[in-house]
Chains A and B, each alone.
Chain A
Amino acid sequence: MINGISINYYLLLSAVLFIIGAVGVMARRNSIIIFMCIELMLNAVNLLLVAFSTLHNDASGQVFVFFIMAVAAAEVAVGLAILSMIYRNVKTIDTDILSNLKN
């Protein structure tokens, strides 16, 4: 229990958010939306890390979340640079068209 909320609810919420992100990755064609769904999945995991860190009264989990945020920022910068380069060359970011690397 954290402030009267069982950890199981946090587990459920994180699972639902993660799965919404996973379904978004599978069901959308726009690369940027896929990117945003990956961010959503990262955030679901972050939320669970913070919940368990509060539950166990251990600050390591929150430091982990901090590092995950740093890595996510780096990942988004590189990924969006790659996407904009692809858009400049191919004029689309549709994953069904970009299904083979050598075009």
Chain B
Amino acid sequence: MLGYTITQWLFGILSFLSIMFALMVVFSRNPVNSVLYLVLTFFCIAGHYLLLNAQFLAVVHIVVYAGAIMVLFLFVIMLMDLNHDNEPQKTWVTKIIAGIAGGMLLCVLVGSLKGSEQLGISQYGSSQIGMVKNLGKVLFSEFLFPFEIASILLLAALVGSIMIGKKEIK
């Protein structure tokens, strides 16, 4: 098919879809629609992880982001009753300035990446590092201490969000 392999076709389609959905996140008026488009973006990024042979991260990404974080967002939006299309917008000047700033940042990034054609070593073939077995070994040997610290961080976030979120007792 036009000299491209299946992987390249999949990469192109997934990239296009993820950029489209990301744009829809920013431009849709209704916050609920934004959340749903962000879920679709996350599914596309999970597809990219699968293309990169990172199965474990793809599954964790779907479970954590699309399953947990986005549901939390939806809950908060519903609780705050923000399911309206006519929320106040920034002025056009601010939007245009934001677009120009983003475009200039894109120009700087692309310009700086343009010079670096060959980036480091290139590995061919399918790598097995993204599998659960391999990643688990690395996670529980080399990164054991950060893993435990992450559990403390999650506990602290849990306690902190309950403390912040509860009604004040007087």
Residue-wise, chain B 91-104 has the 8 Å CB interface mask toward A (1 for contact) of 00011011101110
Which A residue sits closest to B64, measured CB to CB? A69
Residue-wise, chain A 32-76 has the 8 Å CB interface mask toward B (1 for contact) of 110111011001001100110111111110110111011111111
The secondary structure that dominates the B interface is: helix
Please report B residues at the A interface, Cβ cutoff 8 Å.
Answer: 5, 7-8, 11, 15, 18-19, 22-23, 25-26, 31, 34-35, 38, 41-42, 45, 48-49, 51-54, 56-57, 60-61, 64-65, 68-69, 72-73, 76-77, 79-80, 82, 87-90, 94-95, 97-99, 101-103, 105-106, 109-110, 113, 117, 119-124, 126-127, 129-130, 134-135, 138-139, 142-143, 146, 150, 153-154, 156-158, 160-162, 164-165, 167
Asked if A35 and B134 make an inter-chain contact with CB atoms under 8 angstroms apart, the answer reads no
CB contact under 8 A between A57 and B69, given known A27-B95, A29-B88, A66-B57: no
Chain A residue numbers with a CB within 8 Å of B79 are 84
The secondary structure that dominates the A interface is: helix
Asked if B64 and A73 make an inter-chain contact with CB atoms under 8 angstroms apart, the answer reads yes
User: What are 24 A-B pairs at a CB distance below 8 A?
Assistant: A3-B51, A13-B48, A15-B110, A20-B22, A23-B26, A23-B98, A23-B101, A26-B98, A29-B90, A33-B25, A33-B31, A33-B34, A40-B25, A43-B41, A46-B45, A46-B61, A50-B48, A50-B52, A50-B57, A53-B54, A55-B119, A56-B121, A69-B65, A74-B157
Highest count of chain B CB atoms <10 Å: which of A3, A16, A37, A82 = A3
Chain A residue numbers with a CB within 8 Å of B90 are 27-29, 96
| Least Cβ–Cβ distance between A42 and chain B, in angstroms | 10
CB contact under 8 A between A30 and B127, given known A20-B19, A20-B23, A54-B53: no
| Least Cβ–Cβ distance between A21 and chain B, in angstroms | 7
Chain B residue numbers with a CB within 8 Å of A83 are 76
Asked if A47 and B138 make an inter-chain contact with CB atoms under 8 angstroms apart, the answer reads no
Chain A residue numbers with a CB within 8 Å of B42 are 43
Chain B residue numbers with a CB within 8 Å of A81 are 160-162, 164-165
| Least Cβ–Cβ distance between B34 and chain A, in angstroms | 6
Chain B residue numbers with a CB within 8 Å of A19 are 102-103, 105-106, 109
Chain A residue numbers with a CB within 8 Å of B52 are 2-3, 50-51, 54
Question: A46-B45, A50-B52, A73-B64 known; 12 other A-B pairs, CB under 8 Å?
Answer: A21-B22, A22-B105, A24-B26, A26-B101, A28-B90, A47-B48, A54-B52, A67-B143, A67-B150, A69-B65, A70-B153, A71-B150
